[in-house]
Structure 1
């Protein structure tokens, strides 16, 4: 998380899908329902432009060990017992039929056979969906999530409707037709969101923006920040949005989100700045004003602290000239 500027003079100014591809591997809304006014998860997923990419069915031979890396992954375990290891971490997760495993950040990981000889469980079988991020600069939103989320027996329950979604994926894989690629992409998107919802609503959710979004009070302040990051927000104003006292709000925000309000606001402002730097030709000074800084110098200091390069150079590098 980005720390807020230490200089009081740096206080901000006042301001008013990709295609899906089905594979089988034997070895290795615009109208209708009304959206919630504080639907932060939808807003942030739109900004990340996360999209289901492809799905594959795995039925490997015994004693397998398969590696996955480079993209967000979703494993729907259909049969067998497997061990999941995130590379570089000692903890091993035991997963079995009915479990859902989400690796949202794309951390390299391996799935191993956990069977116990000839009398062991049914051979392992699972579906694996992958995801792409349309805006790599917004990837830290997913980076704030845990390395792996496991739902199922003995844990937070798997999402409702998962079995229906799984069957729909199999239909599109077994009998592909016109529109199957988009169907697979949309189904993966739905499952991804369902898993995030189920995890964030659980008691063991780690502090981050998603857990905060599901808090009925802190979620209101997060929505306010994301919708108007350039406003001169104070802790008192954000506390009023949540109908909490200043001290109660600050403590609850930090506990749910994992960083103080000022630090989170600073991060969101710089996110907004990168969008303007990449997508517009606005002068740096005007961008600084729009995202809530009183001076170009204050903005440049904050930007360089996070990206290790001045905003003008960052813009040149991202555009390739």
Structure 2
């Protein structure tokens, strides 16, 4: 039986942190499997999300214990994991059986509907990939090494949200991509709320949540990147000494506060440039730079181009179109700057 986590982030700190959450590149498919069938999901450099809509199936991720995928079960698999999703059947509870399977590998989001097997589906679910960031710079799942498993219920309405997100992508209408990303953000926000109550072990695997004062300081810099943040002002805002703040920040994020602040500012500036609503001087001020030359030097080091060049490239239309399936049959369990 799961034990209560050793700590809890406060609702106030979690609320501030959730306000900085951004979701990008949501790619979603509605999948059905019959009993005894299986879907081999491509190893992805982004997290994958799986939400049970109807019936029951099994998710097998590398060497992890089998995960039962039932209605309203949410499973998020960290990047770099090869997985198989199977329709309910005794045979598929053995990883030995899965290891001998061959065939095509499904890329989440490459088609909006995917059906495997003939007859009545054993399980229906949404399968997808995405990117999620705090403050446009910190990958929400960077520290995650094992799957997140959380059970919701009908009152949470996540099944409706997931179906709506898939429909938006399938319609290929104007704004479908941003709309689906916004809907997926609702799902992740519902998951993060569970940090206040869930006893499942995934709660303690987010390093950013393991130290509430540090999470609060990060939320401040991420929500107000134009402020003149310093290590001294950030440590003072959360009631820590400078040295204690520095040490705990590096443990939580793997880099110094100023280094992370620079990345937050650059990601924010890149979004403003791509939106094409502000001049470059205005973007520099919004990103916390009083000097355009200092901003340009830092941006060039971070992105490899000047702000004007980045904006021109961001406004160029993209015609990328992923393939539905890629051939291959890997063995199951194989994971195929200047600051002012």
TM-score scaled by length of structure 1? 0.61
1:221 equivalenced with 2:217 (yes/no): yes
Residues 190/172 of structure 1: CA separation in 2 closer, same or farther (3 Å cut): closer
What's 2:241 paired with? Answer: 245
Equivalences for residues 37-56 of structure 1 within 5 A: 39-45=15-21, 47-48=22-23, 56=30
Deviation at 1:172, TM superposition (A): 10
The partner residue of 1:150 within 148, 151, 155 is 148
In 2, Cα distance between equivalents of 1:56 and 1:165: 21
Matches within 5 A, 1:265-276: 265-276=261-272
Q: Which residue of 1 aligns with 2:61?
A: 84
Query: Judging changes above 3 Å, is the alpha-carbon distance between structure 1 residues 93 and 139 closer, same or farther for their aligned structure 2 residues?
Result: farther
**Could you list the per-position Cα deviations for residues 244-280 of structure 1 after superposition, in whole angstroms to 9, with x for gaps in the alignment?**
1111111122222332211111111112211321224
Compute the displacement of 1:221 (Å).
Answer: 1.0
Q: 1:142 to 1:310 in 2, by over 3 A?
A: farther
Q: Is the 8 A contact 1:278 1:315 kept in 2?
A: yes
Secondary structure of 2:153's partner?
A: helix
- Preserved contact between residue 225 and residue 261 of structure 2 (Cα < 8 Å): yes
* Aligned-residue offset at 1:54: 6.0
What is the DSSP-based 3-state SS (H/G/I as helix, E as strand, rest coil) of the residue aligned with 2:20? helix
Separation in 2 of the partners of 1:217 and 1:148? 25
Given the alignment of the two structures, is residue 310 of structure 1 paired with residue 306 of structure 2, yes or no?
yes
Structure 1 residues 248 and 167, CA, compared in 2 at 3 Å: closer, same or farther?
A: closer
Q: Do the aligned partners of residues 206 and 298 (structure 1) sit closer, same or farther apart at CA in structure 2, a change above 3 Å counting?
A: same
Compared CA separation, residues 112 and 36, structure 1 to 2 (3 A): closer
Q: Root-mean-square deviation (CA), in Å?
A: 4.6
CA 1:298–1:97 in structure 2 vs 1: closer, same or farther (change >3 Å)?
A: same
- Equivalent position of 1:25 in the other structure: none
Three-state SS of the structure 2 residue aligned to 1:259 is coil
Paired position in structure 1 for 2:159: 169
Identify if the C-alpha distance between structure 1 residues 295 and 129 changes in structure 2 by more than 3 Å, giving closer, same or farther. Answer: same
**2:231/2:242 contact within 8 Å kept:** yes
In structure 2, runs of 5+ residues without a counterpart are 1-10, 95-120, 164-170, 318-340
Structure 1 residue 62 corresponds to structure 2 residue 62: no
1:74 and 1:192 in contact (8 A); partners too? no
Relative distance call for 1:145 and 1:112 in structure 2 (3 A) is same
Q: TM-score, normalised by structure 2?
A: 0.58
Task: Flag the 1:129–1:186 CA change in 2: closer, same or farther, 3 A.
Answer: farther
SS in 2 for 1:220: helix
- 1:194 paired with 2:156, answer no
Distance 1:115 1:306, change over 3 A: farther
CA deviations 1:161-206 (Å, max 9, x no partner) are x122588738997xxxxxxx99x99986544323344469856414
Does the C-alpha gap of structure 1 residues 187 and 304 become closer, same or farther in structure 2, counting only changes over 3 Å?
Answer: closer
Matched length: 257
> Which of these residues, 252, 257, 262, is aligned with residue 253 of structure 2?
257
Q: Does 1:74 align with 2:49?
A: yes
Q: 1:289 aligns with which of 256, 265, 285?
A: 285
Equivalent in the alignment of 1:111: 84
Instruction: Assess if the C-alpha contact under 8 Å between 1:48 and 1:139 holds in 2.
Output: no
CA 1:63–1:247: 2 relative to 1, 3 Å: same
